[in-house]
């Protein structure tokens, strides 16, 4: 099997408090995987481990068939926190170019090819008109889209996104998932999301993260896993009409939904 992500026996603790415990799962290349789970379950921590921002206490991580450090140049990462220093004088285009240029190069020296790649990435997230604007002048949702464009500009083989649509309005949200779906033709995608409706329409697989990781290749979560992850049957999490392909069939559904 050709794997995009291989995690084995992963353990991580913050200040002695175990956040992820003996986590083992693999993601095949070409997958579109959503990481779901309760607040504080460890989703962001897991992504940070996958891009080498945190080091595990135990276990191994391989990406794209190579040890993590060797693969990172082929991996794109969109972090959750898009807050920037509003006075930092950097334009939208420059931020996107930062994704493309290697270490030791200044973004002022980008050549025409790199600028075209940046422009194309901005176009894909619907921000072509804002290329010359200062990042600090943008709304949070727009900044989130700039960070996605920065990751797209590197043409990653594996793209990891941490709640990329958290501050994006509903129409831009589905547009972004369409972009991700299109990109999925070229890259394996792992996205953290709380938006089950958006997730259910687009992803192929889901993984529930809460100290452990339960991977579901078919995109269906069983009632037992839901309980193990959220600690209860989360009937209130089920948006009406969300396909059960993602949510699975719940014991109480017939009683509580009409």
Site residues (CB under 6 A) for ligand ATP?
14-15, 19, 37, 39-45
Residue among 117 and 164 whose Cβ is closer to ligand ATP: 164
In the complex, the smallest distance separating the C-beta of residue 19 from ligand ATP, rounded to whole angstroms, is 5
DSSP state of 185: T
In the complex, the smallest distance separating the C-beta of residue 236 from ligand ATP, rounded to whole angstroms, is 16
DSSP state of 32: E
H or E element that contains 50: helix 43-50
> Count of alpha carbons within 13 Å of 137, Cβ hemisphere only?
9
Residue among 15 and 171 whose Cβ is closer to ligand ATP: 15
Residue among 44 and 200 whose Cβ is closer to ligand ATP: 44
In the complex, the smallest distance separating the C-beta of residue 42 from ligand ATP, rounded to whole angstroms, is 4
Residue among 42 and 76 whose Cβ is closer to ligand ATP: 42
In the complex, the smallest distance separating the C-beta of residue 13 from ligand ATP, rounded to whole angstroms, is 9
Query: In this structure, are residues 248 and 226 in contact, taking their beta carbons and an 8 Å threshold?
Result: yes
User: What number of other Cβ atoms are within 10 A of residue 154's Cβ?
Assistant: 20
Residue 217: partners with Cβ closer than 8 Å, 6 or more residues away: 204, 205
Residue among 154 and 197 whose Cβ is closer to ligand ATP: 197
In the complex, the smallest distance separating the C-beta of residue 195 from ligand ATP, rounded to whole angstroms, is 12
At what angle are helices 112-124 and 92-100 packed, to 10 degrees? 110
Strand partners, 206: 34, 216
In the complex, the smallest distance separating the C-beta of residue 237 from ligand ATP, rounded to whole angstroms, is 13
Q: Angle at Cα 43 formed by Cα 37 and Cα 44, nearest 5°?
A: 145
In the complex, the smallest distance separating the C-beta of residue 209 from ligand ATP, rounded to whole angstroms, is 6
Alpha carbon of residue 100 to chain centroid: 19
Residue among 154 and 193 whose Cβ is closer to ligand ATP: 193
DSSP track, 82-142: ----TTS--BHHHHHHHHHSPTT--GGG--HHHHHHHHHHHHHTT-GGGTTSBGGGS-HHH
What would the two tokens of residue 250 be? Answer: 């719940």
Residue among 45 and 142 whose Cβ is closer to ligand ATP: 45
């Amino acid at each position: 099997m050709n794997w995009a992500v291989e995690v084995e026996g992963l353990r991580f603790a913050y200040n002695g408090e175990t956040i992820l415990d003996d986590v083992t799962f693999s993601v095949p290349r070409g997958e579109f995987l959503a990481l779901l789970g309760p607040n504080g379950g460890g989703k962001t921590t897991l992504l940070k481990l996958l891009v080498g921002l945190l080091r595990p206490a135990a276990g191994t991580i391989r990406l794209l068939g190579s040890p993590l450090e060797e693969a990172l140049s082929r991996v794109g990462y969109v972090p959750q926190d898009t807050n920037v220093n509003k006075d930092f004088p950097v334009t939208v285009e420059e931020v996107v170019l930062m994704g493309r240029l290697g270490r030791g190069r200044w973004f002022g020296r980008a050549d025409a090819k790199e600028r075209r790649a940046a422009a194309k990435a901005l176009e894909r997230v619907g921000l072509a008109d804002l290329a010359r604007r200062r990042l600090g002048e943008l709304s949070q949702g727009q900044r989130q889209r700039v960070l996605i464009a920065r990751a797209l500009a590197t043409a990653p083989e594996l793209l990891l996104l941490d709640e990329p649509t958290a501050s994006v309005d509903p129409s831009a949200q589905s547009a972004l998932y369409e972009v991700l779906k299109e990109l999925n033709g070229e890259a394996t995608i792992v996205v953290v999301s709380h938006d089950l409706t958006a997730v259910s329409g687009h992803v192929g697989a889901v993984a529930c993260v809460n100290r452990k990781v339960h991977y579901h290749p078919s995109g269906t979560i069983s009632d037992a896993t839901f309980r193990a992850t959220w600690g209860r049957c989360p009937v209130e999490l089920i948006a009406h009409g969300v396909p059960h392909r993602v949510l699975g069939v719940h014991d109480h559904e017939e009683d509580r939904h009409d």
